[in-house]
Structure 1
Amino acid sequence: MSNAGKDVSDWWATDIIDMAPGQIRLRGHPIEELIGNVTFPQMIWLMTRGGLPTPEQAKLLECALVAAVDHGPQAPSIAAARMAVTCGLGLNGAMASAVNMLDDVHGGAGEQAVELYGWIDDVMKDGVGLDQAAAKMIDRWQAERTVFVPGFGHRFHKPEDPRAPRLLGLVDAAAADGVVSGRFAEIGRAIQKILNTRKGKPVPMNIDGATAVVYAELGFAGQLARGLFCLSRSVGVIAHSWEQMNQGGRNKGPTPPAYRWSYTGPNPIDGQT
């Protein structure tokens, strides 16, 4: 190959896919061998991590993905998708509108929780006890980042988010079978205990905190945890978008037309300036 040709072929370098006429290999695996033999969660792991997980690891990953698919039209991402459909966008546009809203505040807490769990785990490796390490890193997080502890607290689900204990129970079972260590589940529970004590009331672990336990146990990086949440929530997005398409409606805003916003600017009619 000429240097010019190599310049072109090296413009994008990837370990992910090798493709030629009649041949597709993903991470070295011929696609025809993957089809019918590998589940979608296993495929996600293969593509993002480079190797195939055990069936038990894949099952735990699948549980986290299932848990986060939807949280109703009041969730900003779902609402945005439904509004987008009523404005004439197709499924791809609606899904893009929704996923673009899954940033630091809405959708990013899972990534942040994995990071916080990692801080606590690192301190414990230096011989600090679990409760002390958790309290110290909660303080650090609130001092350096935000008063909101990622993965904990919920506007609707009080005193408990029903998804969290189910996922933690599955992590416990996986830990008992030697699939994962279980230490991040312990970290998550320690954070919850400290927050409950400090607030004087239950501060439930939410879906971000629970899935972050799973992703940390399985060794996913924090940024991948956010990407996995986007993949999971996309299932709910496409379902709501399709439903809205079939329901119809045009130019639906965030509230019914009879409701108005609160105007706080000047009102010349009343002589206000």
Structure 2
Amino acid sequence: MALFEADLPPMTTSIGHATADGIWVQGYDLAQELMGEVDFGGVFFLLVSGRLPTLGESRLFNAVLVALADHGLTPSALAARLTFTGAPEAIQGAVAAGVLGAGSEFLGVFENAGRMLRRAGPIPDDDDQALQRLAVGIVDSYRSRNQRLPGFGHPFHKGGDPRVVRLLGLAREHDLCGPHVRLMLRVESLATSSSGKPLPLNAGGMCGALLCDLGIDTAALRGVAVVSRAAGIVGHIAEEARAPIGRALWYMAERETHYQPRRGPHAPGAEQEDDRG
């Protein structure tokens, strides 16, 4: 055992450390240099990137967090409210229930879009034709596998996601439209549905591209979305506590869902099968 322990590499962290008279986060004194001086978005950026953002980066990163904070009674909000209905004494369980569904359909688009862009390889800066070829390659690759492009289309914003317009405007205002955003916009010009209709870029896709340009590690992209939506979920739970709808949702599901057995003597067509037998 001693030999095994001697072979272990030293364990280090730069995230946080506490002493008898201070708390340190990424090399900054939490109480003196961050609290009251840097907003939560800036500290979150510091935690995932290792540096404080510039003024423009801070404004854009905070806008990304705001963009996904809430979108109404989405599956994540419903999961949180219904879990709170069953266990109101454990709000952490309801928050967890709301974010556990972060995947390809909801919240995971940040990561999926970022991986798509970063898998494309080096993105040319001043070569429009090379950038177009890269975009064509991405679209053709997904079409050949019959897979949906991550970050495109929206169940409600058929004509375009208003958050994309705002985020793109902020990025241009602060000169933060980097190569990943430029490539994503080229992909958007080629993205179409199976019926041939154009697929507009959604907020998840734009946020994924922006975060890539801000240097956020791919592994952390979905985490940014989860932190953003967690704020909205806590808001839903706070409302559920004072104006509950969880039981109404449960009763509505019971009322509107019809039991239909697939097997047994009461299954549809069972009598006909018996007659033929």
The normalised TM-score by structure 2 is 0.84
Kept in 2: contact 1:119–1:137 (CA 8 A):
no
Match of 2:48, SS state, is helix
**Matches of 2:125 and 2:259, distance apart in 1:** 52
Which residue number corresponds to residue 254 of structure 2? 257
Where do 1:5-24 residues align within 5 Å? 13-24=12-23
Secondary structure of 1:19's match? strand
Q: Aligned residue for 2:29?
A: 30
1:135 is the counterpart of 2:132: no
Tell me which residue corresponds to 2:69: 69
> How far apart, in 2, do the equivalents of 1:156 and 1:174 lie?
29
Task: Give distance in 2, aligned partners of 1:236 and 1:272.
Answer: 52
Shift of 1:200: 3.4
- What displacement does 1:256 show? 3.5
Kindly state the Cα deviation for residue 255 of structure 1 after the two structures are TM-superposed. 4.3
Letter in 2 for 1:136: G
**Which residue does the alignment assign to 1:119?**
119
5+ unaligned residues in a row in structure 2: which ranges? none
Q: Gapped runs of 5+ residues in structure 1? A: none
From 184, 190, 213, the equivalent of 2:180 is: 184
Alignment check: 8 A CA contact 1:113 1:212 kept: yes
State the partner residue of 1:95.
95
- For residues 131 and 198 of structure 1, the distance between their equivalents in structure 2, rounded to whole angstroms, comes to 21
Question: Any conservation in 2 of the 1:266–1:272 contact (CA below 8 Å)?
Answer: no
SS in 1 for 2:254: coil
The Cα of 1:36 is off from its aligned counterpart by 0.9
The equivalent residue for 1:221 is: 217
Matching residue of 1:238: 234
**Which residue in 2 is equivalent to 1:268?**
265
Change over 3 Å in CA distance of 1:21–1:261 after alignment to 2:
farther
Higher CA-based Rg: 2
Between the aligned partners of 2:218 and 2:15, the Cα distance in structure 1 is: 20
Q: Quote the Cα distance in structure 2 between the aligned partners of 1:262 and 1:125.
A: 59
User: Contact (CA 8 Å) 2:123, 2:180: kept in 1 or not?
Assistant: no
Query: Aligned residue pairs: how many?
Result: 261
Deviation at 1:182, TM superposition (A): 3.1
Mapped to 2, the partners of 1:227 and 1:272 lie a distance apart of 54
Question: Residues 268 and 159 from structure 1, CA distance in 2 versus in 1: closer, same or farther, beyond 3 angstroms?
Answer: same
* In 2, Cα distance between equivalents of 1:161 and 1:262: 38
- TM-score in terms of structure 1 length: 0.85
